[in-house]
Amino acid sequence: TSNYLRHVESMMVLPSGAGEISHLNAVILGEALASEENDLVFPCEEFSRQALVPSPEKYLGMYKRSITDPAGFWSEIASEFYWKQKWGTQVYSENLDVRKGPIKIEWFKGGITNICYNALDRNIEAGNGDKIAIYWEGNDLGQDGSLTYSSLLEKVCQLSNFLKDIGVQKGDAVVIYLPMLMELPIAMLACARIGAVHSVVFAGFSAESLAQRIVDCKAKAVITCNAVQRGPKVIHLKDIVDVALVESAKSGVSVDVCLTYENQSAMNRQDTEWKQGRDIWWQDIVPKYPTTCEVEWVDAEDPLFLLYTSGSTGRPKGVVHTTGGYMIYTATTFKYTFDYKPSDIYWCTADCGWITGHSYVTYGPLLNGATVVVFEGAPSYPDPGRCWDIVDKYKVTIFYTAPTLVRSLMREGDEYVTRYSRKSLRVLGSVGEPINPSAWRWFFNVVGDSRCPISDTWWQTETGGFMIAPLPGAWPQKPGSATFPFFGIQPVIVDEKGTEIEGECSGYLCVKSSWPGAFRTLYGDHERYETTYFKPFPGYYFSGDGCSRDKDGYHWLTGRVDDVINVSGHRIGTAEVESALVSHPQCAEAAVVGVEHEVKGQGIYAFVTLVEGVPYSEELRKSLILTVRNQIGAFAAPDKIHWAPGLPKTRSGKIMRRILRKIASRQLDELGDTSTLADPNVVDQLIALSDC
């Protein structure tokens, strides 16, 4: 049926030599073998024996079924969840080909369900009411708390009742701007319970970005807290919200209710700016509501949430996920990719402000009835051993994080790790960017004591859940490769012309046919959805990533091929940073490129041209960076500002980023042909100003 399937079958012949060494426990052959491609790390037998998917053969059997009979495969899984009413005769319908009409993806249409009910009530009815749903660890040592499934449900219901009381109805949008308090997943679930659409905005975004998102979805209410502690710093979130609400009102969206959680460890209510009539303290009102709340039953295709993400051009895109397919997909990917067992204690370091926190802090784990650790603080506070302190404290078994954190902790030395036991750990995970083999090895050898498989999960805000990731008990791994597709996913690599290439190859990563967790549209802009993702290579979903496939069929992600940079696993559009820079009154033009960064993966490198007659100075540099912090958020602040009296442009005025990238990364002997530039001299000038 599919080329991909044939390809997977052919790769079932395991790499040569595998048979001889597969009995060894977790062998690292890195030193012995020449290239990463040949570097196989086998799951230890003990792990595989207990794994949900214990062998490549088992994986292949399930994978084959998922591709040849997606309807049967997914509806069997979906039947394990609660549906008020079953979906119609068609499990899914799709059109991913722009040439055949509008792009459409639907799963379980006509099925009536509720994701909050499935995550909480269903698990409580199954006897897990007293199981811990969330362990919360605060910024400072000794600050902690926990909620059982039953008590979580009560808190969610109280907030749902409050939201209903202020007039939030099914389909209305609620913006959530909270740090990693338990109230963040509570707020998400409370919205889901009443069919409201949540739009979580990462609490590191600036007032301006928050306002933009409030306006775009016409939020009915905003949920926030007064302040948050991050390491030694206190950030006054409510002040940021106040500014954002003034801004959004100017654009015609005035929000009547700002529910504010008093985060006492960071700031007292007396010190918080307050707008009577609009602002309400969470603690004063929410606990007064009943602890039960009827579920709003929704169609599988009703929207669950919006989450904005950066693209290569213009404004952030409001990625829309719907209820049914997302529910089934996040639950299933969580279960298999982490080899989840009910006794696991799971900790994902991601913030719920990003997709990872949506799918793998809140929904995926809770749908499985898992115990989740939620950590409010900074991973290196009070010292770089904090993560392992938390692992030991809660006996974390599955630890999921980002390469940037791995790299930054790796720099601090092994002692911070080895002073903790970590013996509870059994599965590690990585997400956000390609994990470089040396970080992989450190994560595996030092953190996991060469005992815990690493699930390197490639996926995106748009995909809802894992797309390419190793099933930890099944495959020998190669450090730095995300390995093979999850059930139901058909990744294809295409060339410039959009032709599928097979075997050992590299090109653009696309996906053929839909999967339940796929996003359905961009909020209010279906055309942009089609243009960005489905027009570049007709017939496929285009991920925006480059990828190669080696002789054994392993996938190696090579990074974004569009104008998106990945800084510490955060997606930032170069166009967004450029437009922030040029809003500075003294900046005439800006061109932003990504450069390799030891810890962050990529850093932001900005070339700026100043308004005629303005001299470049240290003060101006700082003020340009501040402008970006204010417009987007601190995480998007350029690492380097490079003063550019002129930018390399073609005669038609197009900035040649290729050249800028080379200058930024000091690969001056690789500048290539500069003769087509309108003024080739600007290149020498830029190089001369490099260290300015």
Distance CA(259)–CA(222), nearest Å, equals: 6
Closer residue to ligand WTA, CB minimum distance, 436 or 623: 436
Distance separating the N- and C-terminal Cα atoms of the chain: 59
Kind plus residue range of the DSSP H or E element containing 236? none
DSSP conformation class of 43: P
466 part of the interface to ligand WTA, by CB under 6 A = no
User: At closest approach, how far in Å is the CB of 546 from ligand WTA?
Assistant: 9
State which of residues 482, 494, 604, 610 lies at the interface with ligand WTA (CB under 6 A).
482
Report the site for ligand WTA in 262-281 (rule: CB under 6 A): none
User: At closest approach, how far in Å is the CB of 307 from ligand WTA?
Assistant: 9
State which of residues 48, 128, 514, 566 lies at the interface with ligand WTA (CB under 6 A).
566
Q: Which of 429, 435, 450, 373 is nearest to 404 (CA)?
A: 435
User: At closest approach, how far in Å is the CB of 267 from ligand WTA?
Assistant: 30
User: Listing from the earlier edge strand, what are the strands of the sheet with 197-200?
Assistant: 279-281, 257-261, 221-225, 173-177, 197-200, 303-309, 317-322, 521-522
356 part of the interface to ligand WTA, by CB under 6 A = yes
User: At closest approach, how far in Å is the CB of 187 from ligand WTA?
Assistant: 21
Closer residue to ligand WTA, CB minimum distance, 242 or 552: 552
Closer residue to ligand WTA, CB minimum distance, 108 or 556: 556
536 part of the interface to ligand WTA, by CB under 6 A = no
User: At closest approach, how far in Å is the CB of 484 from ligand WTA?
Assistant: 13
Report the site for ligand WTA in 292-321 (rule: CB under 6 A): 309
User: For tokens 């087509």, what's the residue?
Assistant: 676
Closer residue to ligand WTA, CB minimum distance, 299 or 351: 351
Taking a C-beta distance cutoff of 8 angstroms, is the pair 655, 647 a contact?
Answer: yes
Distance CA(401)–CA(324), nearest Å, equals: 27
Distance CA(230)–CA(376), nearest Å, equals: 8
State which of residues 460, 579, 586, 674 lies at the interface with ligand WTA (CB under 6 A).
460
Closer residue to ligand WTA, CB minimum distance, 114 or 309: 309
Taking a C-beta distance cutoff of 8 angstroms, is the pair 302, 323 a contact?
Answer: yes
Closer residue to ligand WTA, CB minimum distance, 10 or 531: 531
Q: Where are the beta strands (DSSP E) in 114-181?
A: 132-137, 144-148, 173-177
Closer residue to ligand WTA, CB minimum distance, 30 or 559: 559
Distance CA(140)–CA(143), nearest Å, equals: 6
Choices 242-250, 350-358, 411-419, 583-591 (CB under 6 A): range interacting with ligand WTA: 350-358
User: At closest approach, how far in Å is the CB of 480 from ligand WTA?
Assistant: 9
Closer residue to ligand WTA, CB minimum distance, 123 or 543: 543
Distance CA(432)–CA(412), nearest Å, equals: 21
Longest dimension (CA), the chain: 73
Report the site for ligand WTA in 387-446 (rule: CB under 6 A): 430-434
Distance CA(583)–CA(624), nearest Å, equals: 9
484 part of the interface to ligand WTA, by CB under 6 A = no
Choices 160-168, 256-264, 351-359, 623-631 (CB under 6 A): range interacting with ligand WTA: 351-359
DSSP bridge pairs for 604: 594
Instruction: Tell me the HSE value of 387 on the side-chain side, using a 13 A CA sphere.
Output: 31
State which of residues 557, 581, 593, 647 lies at the interface with ligand WTA (CB under 6 A).
557
Q: Which of 97, 306, 294, 130 is nearest to 219 (CA)?
A: 306
State which of residues 120, 355, 492, 511 lies at the interface with ligand WTA (CB under 6 A).
355
Distance CA(478)–CA(38), nearest Å, equals: 8
Active-site residue identified among 239, 449, 562, 639 = 562
Choices 21-29, 373-381, 543-551, 640-648 (CB under 6 A): range interacting with ligand WTA: 543-551
Taking a C-beta distance cutoff of 8 angstroms, is the pair 348, 374 a contact?
Answer: no
Long-range contacts of 233-240 (CB under 8 A, 24+ apart): 234/266, 234/267, 235/203, 235/266, 236/267, 236/272, 237/177, 237/178, 237/179, 237/203, 238/272, 238/273, 239/273, 240/177, 240/206, 240/207, 240/210
216 part of the interface to ligand WTA, by CB under 6 A = no
Sketch the per residue contact string, 93 through 122, with ligand WTA: x for CB under 6 A, - otherwise: ------------------------------
In this structure, what token pair is assigned to residue 596? 């390799």
349 part of the interface to ligand WTA, by CB under 6 A = no
Choices 224-232, 483-491, 556-564, 630-638 (CB under 6 A): range interacting with ligand WTA: 556-564
CA 573 to each of CA 210, 310, 311, 562, 567: distance values in angstroms, whole numbers, following the listed order: 16, 5, 5, 9, 10
User: At closest approach, how far in Å is the CB of 545 from ligand WTA?
Assistant: 5
Choices 21-29, 41-49, 336-344, 349-357 (CB under 6 A): range interacting with ligand WTA: 349-357
Closer residue to ligand WTA, CB minimum distance, 260 or 309: 309
Closer residue to ligand WTA, CB minimum distance, 261 or 354: 354
User: At closest approach, how far in Å is the CB of 569 from ligand WTA?
Assistant: 7
Could you tell me the sign of the dihedral formed by the alpha carbons of 470, 476, 482, 487, in that order?
A: negative
Report the site for ligand WTA in 635-674 (rule: CB under 6 A): none
Say whether 562 is catalytic: yes
339 part of the interface to ligand WTA, by CB under 6 A = no
User: At closest approach, how far in Å is the CB of 358 from ligand WTA?
Assistant: 10
Q: Where are the beta strands (DSSP E) in 301-431?
A: 303-309, 317-322, 345-348, 371-375, 398-401, 427-431
548 part of the interface to ligand WTA, by CB under 6 A = no
354 part of the interface to ligand WTA, by CB under 6 A = yes
CA 38 to each of CA 225, 448, 501, 559: distance values in angstroms, whole numbers, following the listed order: 50, 22, 22, 21
In this structure, what token pair is assigned to residue 545? 């990533």
Distance CA(438)–CA(350), nearest Å, equals: 22
Closer residue to ligand WTA, CB minimum distance, 444 or 459: 459
User: At closest approach, how far in Å is the CB of 370 from ligand WTA?
Assistant: 19
User: At closest approach, how far in Å is the CB of 564 from ligand WTA?
Assistant: 7
In this structure, what token pair is assigned to residue 169? 């109805």
223 part of the interface to ligand WTA, by CB under 6 A = no
CA 192 to each of CA 111, 147, 172, 188, 304: distance values in angstroms, whole numbers, following the listed order: 16, 19, 11, 6, 6
State which of residues 261, 459, 607, 643 lies at the interface with ligand WTA (CB under 6 A).
459
458 part of the interface to ligand WTA, by CB under 6 A = yes
Sketch the per residue contact string, 567 through 586, with ligand WTA: x for CB under 6 A, - otherwise: ----x---------------
CA 534 to each of CA 16, 89, 117, 494, 537: distance values in angstroms, whole numbers, following the listed order: 38, 27, 34, 13, 6
User: At closest approach, how far in Å is the CB of 572 from ligand WTA?
Assistant: 10
> Which residues carry out catalysis?
562
Catalog residues that contact ligand WTA under the rule CB under 6 A: 309, 354-356, 430-434, 456-461, 482, 543-545, 557, 559-560, 566, 571
